[in-house]
Structure 1
């Protein structure tokens, strides 16, 4: 078994972590700047961390060309964002929205995506996404560099204050059929995938009736 010590490996490849912790859901984050201009960007460091209260996170590293990414800058300014589910069908639009564009650029327009209004926050939703969650900022946790070569990272915690679902993917019992949406997931490098074979596993219990 190969062992790697990240702290004592001069040429440690950080991309190894992205390949190991996979597949990862993609947070397609929409925000607005103080002038009301929309921004849209995908983040693969994204997940749900609590359901009561409903809280999710997305995380981003400081880019090489500016102090922080536009999405983070907008969230700091307005305290709001929307996460939009990326489907297999929307993969190319998602990839286009990841472009390193100047601040104030509308990635909705670049990717040819229609906007849909939100109810409780200012950032718009991706109209073509089958599920979007409106979020209010709870806190931002900064992870400072620990050694030369590290970058500053910021973890954004947002409380879900509104959920939009395409009724075509909601069953009569009120459950959202995520598998039918063919969600896009991030693997290592430039690799992406969607759902494969499904299996249901009942959680074991130690209780005796």
Structure 2
């Protein structure tokens, strides 16, 4: 089956991308909005794109034409944000923060989440999240109704119990128990893994 994106609407392309690019990590973004209200919202068009400088990107849509979602508006205004990662234990709280609350409503309060101060930026992080990345705004690339927001990672907080060797940056992924976004209302856990070490060139040349 072929899908010609040139002949499909934006919504149709969106649905197909959600159904095929799987699984997707979730950026649970906290920002500071109007009257210092703290906004929290999940986005699954998200990943890291470099380490020097440490860069992450989030695809953030619009509420309506010419009206960006609160997260994007807040990042534009303050140029600071936190990307928290979502463990299985907080899946329901993450779902609550995806509700289209009116501007100014603090989603962390609605979901019963705790906030703690960050070290480098003025936006708090979600205390219960096993990983939180403090970021400053780098660049926004307009992509029609979406924008790709790039951020520079200044500080990463990782739950102590998941760090097996801090000096070597070793983290036990199973203890993070993160979830990923699938299609529709489906999600997946990241505990089921398989190992496939890289093949050295000399090993490949020497195989029978």
Partners of 1:207 and 1:106 in 2: CA distance: 56
1:205: how far off?
2.7
1:12: how far off?
3.6
**TM alignment of 1:48-197, pairs within 5 A:** 48-64=48-64, 67-144=67-144, 152-172=145-165, 173-197=168-192
- Looking at secondary structure, tell me which structure has more strand per residue: 2
Deviations 1:99-147 (A, max 9, x none): 1011111001000001011011111100001110000000000012xxx
Q: 3-state SS of the aligned residue for 1:35?
A: helix
**RMSD over aligned Cα, in angstroms?**
1.9
Partners of 1:197 and 1:104 in 2: CA distance: 39
Partners of 2:39 and 2:153 in 1: CA distance: 19
Partners of 1:114 and 1:107 in 2: CA distance: 11
Equivalent pairs, count:
201
Q: 3-state SS of the aligned residue for 1:200?
A: coil
Indicate conservation of the 8 Å contact 1:171/1:177, yes or no. Answer: yes
Partners of 1:112 and 1:66 in 2: CA distance: 32
Q: 3-state SS of the aligned residue for 2:72?
A: helix
Indicate conservation of the 8 Å contact 2:136/2:154, yes or no. Answer: yes
- Looking at secondary structure, tell me which structure has more helix per residue: 2
Partners of 1:71 and 1:110 in 2: CA distance: 17
Q: 3-state SS of the aligned residue for 2:55?
A: strand
Q: 3-state SS of the aligned residue for 1:14?
A: helix
Indicate conservation of the 8 Å contact 1:33/1:74, yes or no. Answer: yes
Partners of 2:51 and 2:8 in 1: CA distance: 38
Partners of 1:180 and 1:7 in 2: CA distance: 43
Indicate conservation of the 8 Å contact 1:34/1:78, yes or no. Answer: no
Q: What stretches of structure 1 move > 6 A for 4+ residues in a row? A: none
Partners of 2:65 and 2:104 in 1: CA distance: 15
1:180: how far off?
2.1
Matched with 1:6 is 5
Q: 3-state SS of the aligned residue for 1:104?
A: coil
**Unaligned ranges ≥5, structure 2:** none
Partners of 1:66 and 1:46 in 2: CA distance: 22
TM-score normalised to structure 2 length: 0.90
Matched with 1:149 is none
Q: 3-state SS of the aligned residue for 2:91?
A: helix
TM-score normalised to structure 1 length: 0.90
